[in-house]
Amino acid sequence: MPDASAHAETSGDGELNQQVQQVLDKVSGLLANLPDYVTDFFKEYKRPLVTVGVILAAFISVKLLLAILSAVNEVPLLAPTFELIGLGYSSWFVYRFLLKDANRQELTENFTSLKDQVLGKNG
C-alpha cells in the first residue's frame, strides 16, 4: 500500500502545482496588461483626476504660504516694518487716486480698461 499513498501525494502535489501555475499565469497576464489598464483608467477619469490634483496642489500651496507667513512673522521687527510699508502705500494710494475728483475718474477709467482687457471686451 505504500505505492497508493505515494501516488496520492504525487497527484496532490500535481494539483497544487497546477493551481499555483494558474495563479501565476493570471498574475503575469495582469502585469503584462497593466500599462493598458492604467492608460484606460487615466483616459476614463482624466477630468476628476485633474480636479483632485488641482485641489491637492492648492491645499499644499496654502499650507506652504501659511508656514512662510508664520516664519516671517517670527522675525523681530519684520512684521511691523511690513505694516508700516502697507500703511505708507495705502496713504499714497488715497492721496494719489481718492482725494480729488479728476483722480477718481482716472482710477475708474483705468479699472474699466483693465476689466475690459481681462474679460476680452473691446472698448
Task: Write the pLDDT tens digit of every residue in 12-65.
Answer: 687 888 999 999 989 888 888 888 888 998 899 999 999 999 999 999 999 999
Contact 82, 88 (CB under 8 A): no
pLDDT over threshold 80, residue 7: no
Dihedral sign, Cα of residue 91, residue 96, residue 97, residue 101: positive
Say whether both 119 and 88 belong to one domain. yes
Say whether both 38 and 52 belong to one domain. no
CA distances from 3 to 7, 16, 17, 51 (A): 6, 20, 21, 67
Say whether both 34 and 62 belong to one domain. no
Say whether both 23 and 10 belong to one domain. yes
